[in-house]
Amino acid sequence: MTRQVDVKALVSHIVRGDGIDKCRICMGDTSEGQVFLGDTVMLDGNKPVTLAELLETLTGVELVEEHLCPQGVCVTCVTATLQAFELRSLVRNSERSWNDALTALRKLPTDVNAPVRTIYAFVKDDNAHILKNYSGSDSRTALNRLKSRLVHKRKRMERKPRVARNGPSCTCQDCGKVFSSPHYLSAHLQNSSQKQACLTCGAVVIRGKGMKEHLESVHGEPHYLCPDCPLLFPSQAEVDKHKRTAHKSGAHTCCDCGRSFPRASSFETHQQMHAVRTCRTCGAQFSNRGCYREHRSACEPDAKPNIKLLRRDLRSNIRDPATYTCDYCQKTYHSRPQLKNHIMWIHMNVRPHQCQWCGKRFYTSARLTEHTIVHTRERNFECDICGAKLVTKMAMVYHKRRHTGEKPYECDDCGEKFISASRRSEHAKRRHGKGTMFQCTHCPSHFVRGHELRKHVDKVHKITADSKKPSKEEAITSDL
């Protein structure tokens, strides 16, 4: 609705001075309320904007607080002003969005061989992100790609400024490796639980308190030390912020180096970095994995191939040939988790998963699931040759080998072949007297399988399985 200035009220105010409570713009009635020119009506980000500044932005007319003129504006004019500003902002944002969309469309190549041309647009926070895809992939895949692009863009914006990598050359005191700057020496000692390199001069000092004293005495840089981990901060406020996040209840923060992890599994894997490693050749010990690898490359050069001589796609598959030995049976493994599971399952007999039908216990849930099929007898595996349905996957594999005649397991003594390793092992026990035999405790008889021993005890010695059940521990190695 078009509004006009009340000229009669304006003239009356000039002549008689009775319009001080009228609207500054239309000279209309302000009995329903008024907003003064110096009042804040909106925020531009975090900056307050007064009514006079908003009117000047829209109209270009500067309305100053003159004591001879009314100081307030009626509610109707203020509402129209705010609506006009919202419309002005909407028009500008709309024009910018249209330009962005048209610019993205103009960048589409014209020499596309695929017959399908699709465009996926993902709108977030009033911004349109366009992904061009010509292979006809589904919308879920396109949405994931768009989200991944936004995450990477946010990480690039939040990335910390790059640390200067210049400085004097320095040498690691433990392994003797030479670095071109203190930055690379600090990265080399990152997994060390005790030592840390100064990024300015390359001096190697004790992590935490030693580094704090070095920075204050040598470089004159005051720092504050976290009481729960060896991390240093430039102010006490940042120490308090770090403690609230990294050392709260349930947080996974390493007390040796101060690194934090979102999951307990990642934290347990990281703790292995601080384990002391011993060289198998000379017996030297290292608390840093980088120093251990550098020492072994010089002390035992043939243990690991030269990575620089391999193709780049094969370099990540080269593993450190360090082994972990069981103290009980001297069996070796290539990783610490494998050794841990071996000790828990074999020597400590920890079997947390129990069958609800027979009460038998297993190491892992996967073994329990395989055993459950024995009770349910669900035949989910079908032979594609004859159509026979079997209970387990391995049973299907052995069944198909009967059709194909494949016998991959060969006896080392006589050359006879078998469809499974268990049948070869049974053959070696019966024919060649190799392997573990089950010895009867009542007579010199021995058997290949446990159920044969139980049947013998029940039939010959008249002892039922409930009163005397032979265990696997009773099995002994026979030389017969």
Annotated binding site for Zn(2+): 23, 26, 74, 77
State the binding site. Answer: 23, 26, 74, 77
Which conformational region is residue 350 in: left (phi greater than 0), alpha (psi within -120 to 50 degrees), or beta?
beta
What are the two backbone dihedrals, phi and then psi, of residue 123, each rounded to the nearest 5 degrees?
-105, 125
Pairing of strands 34-36, 47-50: unpaired
Count of C-beta atoms within a 10 Å radius of residue 423: 15
Q: How many residues does the chain have?
A: 480
| Sequence-separated (6 or more) residues with CB below 8 Å from residue 382 | 388, 389, 390, 396
Cβ–Cβ under 8 Å, residues 441 and 459: no
Q: Give Cα separations from 199 to 103, 167, 246, 255 (angstroms).
A: 46, 8, 24, 21
| Sequence-separated (6 or more) residues with CB below 8 Å from residue 402 | 419
Count of C-beta atoms within a 10 Å radius of residue 25: 20
3-state secondary structure of 449: coil
CA-closest candidate to residue 294, choices 271, 182, 303, 181: 303
| Sequence-separated (6 or more) residues with CB below 8 Å from residue 170 | 178, 179, 181, 182, 185, 197, 202
Calculate Rg over the CA atoms of the chain.
40
